[in-house]
Amino acid sequence: MTKSPRFEPVQPVRAYQRIVEQVEEALIRGDLAPGQRLPSERELVAQFEVSRSTVREALRVLESNGVVRSRPGDPNGPEILPFSQAALRKQLVRLARVDELTLSELIGFRMIMDGAAIQVASRLRTPEQLTEMEETLVAMRAAIDVDFAAFGEADLAFHDVIAQISRNSLIQTCNEVVRGVVLSLISDKIAHAGNSRALMLESLQHHAEVVDAIRAGNGHAAARIARQNMYDYYASYVPDEDRETLRALIDD
Amino acid sequence: MTKSPRFEPVQPVRAYQRIVEQVEEALIRGDLAPGQRLPSERELVAQFEVSRSTVREALRVLESNGVVRSRPGDPNGPEILPFSQAALRKQLVRLARVDELTLSELIGFRMIMDGAAIQVASRLRTPEQLTEMEETLVAMRAAIDVDFAAFGEADLAFHDVIAQISRNSLIQTCNEVVRGVVLSLISDKIAHAGNSRALMLESLQHHAEVVDAIRAGNGHAAARIARQNMYDYYASYVPDEDRETLRALIDD
DNA sequence: AGCTGTGACTGGTCCGACCAGTGGACTAGG
DNA sequence: CCTAGTCCACTGGTCGGACCAGTCACAGCT
């Protein structure tokens, strides 16, 4: 009656993989927490009953995944790292670098994400959070007189507040990661020292309009302005033929 | 006049890391393409002038990042893998598992992403693409009579079409990844074999309404229905206190 | 008590060895 | 001639031992 046992392909599980699994599982179970230390490599050799090569290969994998960090000479052993989006960003950067993702896709993604987050935030925000947003605006204004990097940080803080209000850290993570990827892709082209101040002032103006719209409870308008700002800010880096697609994203 | 040379902290670069960098750079430059093979470990030892341990640690890192795959006995050497979102998903799953991300955040993210994608799609879609969407609807209807997994696949195909129309593969990737994470988180709770058919029928009905709205060019309505559907579909798995936040995402 | 020098231990790298498994070349059979 | 089977060179996985530069805690000195 049974048609076929539905066998699945099986590949050998290597020793170092099982070590990785055990460590990661301990992390998920909470037996291991960030800041804690793993036993030294030679101690792990004894516990797992494998050779040091195997232990080291497992540690390299964990290290590349951002789970632990080994420092030579540290008597406390490898350190369990706090969870971070660094590994996530690394993977995204890889995808972007090999041209699986174009710059316009990344920017389009941010336009959608940021717009959606702002729309949600305009509904959920408390008066205190509105004040918080206004403060980041002041910080942005002050940063303009410092340098471009400072302005970028202040801008990041603004978007962080938005994401926080929208009660979704995944949005925040995605925005930060994609933002970092975009900046790394256009970093070599940021030679526009000339008009940068004007661009920053315009960006600040747009942000202020966003806050105004949020204050008025007009989520649609806020989101639209945000997308417009994003487009103006990055459009010059996008190939002509992709700009139309991005423009289509601006209006609601 | 210069205040300080602005020194930055420096940590030693390990040999295996430089091997990883060289391989990844070759990949980005296009000197290495998916399907091609790396030299054997012993050959790499000669080329990089390091020990096999070092080469192997580099290969383990590349392997864990989804760049290559080593198979014992293969005379052709490690294989360069096609770029995939698997590594990306792995990182997201890790974040979700350690409770940095809650189920409601993941679902909220999907509501926003999917809604935005549908809204964009309703504007950009061609008549052919509309037909394509309608075909996935038919496939979903047929899948209901097979089993739950088949319905899930058909549902995935629908969302793929949407993401494709929105001309943004990053949206597609994010949706797929997050969808996979959500399913893996609730997989143990899918014991609702009883009412599943009714649920599938309702979901299909919602999808059909979405397509209707897209056909009519009403992006707002389409997005709203999509979010509502997403909420109905997953709300039972979300803790009570988080549901209100999700409900706030449904309207406009 | 405060400082310093030392030494046990750390991780990074290297070497050589063995094993099970793979796949292509080579050979025997058609 | 072509096919089918065998064989072996070579693969990656794992092991154990060795050496080095660096770090940190502690004992001993001032």
- pLDDT 10s digits, B75-110: 889 999 998 878 888 888 887 777 778 889 999 999
**φ, ψ for residue B6 (rounded to 5)?**
55, 55
Q: What is the mean pLDDT of chain B?
A: 87
| pTM attached to this predicted model | 0.80
Average pLDDT over residues B200-226: 92
**H helical segments located in chain B:** 15-29, 41-48, 52-64, 86-97, 103-124, 127-144, 148-165, 169-186, 196-215, 219-234, 240-250
Q: Kindly indicate the confidence band of residue B190, based on its pLDDT and cuts at 50, 70 and 90.
A: low
Identify the pLDDT of residue B193.
52
Which chain A residues touch B78 with a CB distance below 8 Å?
A: none
All residues of chain A having their beta carbon less than 8 Å from the beta carbon of residue B71 are: 11
CB contact under 8 A, A60 and B248: no
Local confidence band at A24 (pLDDT 50, 70, 90 cut-offs): very high
Q: How far apart are CA A182 and CA A93, in angstroms?
A: 9
Chain B 78..97 CB hits on strand C (< 7 A): none
E strand or H helix that includes residue A177: helix A169-186
Q: Are A28 and B88 in contact (CB < 8 Å)?
A: no
Nearest CA in chain B to A108: B168
Percent of chain A with pLDDT over 90: 47
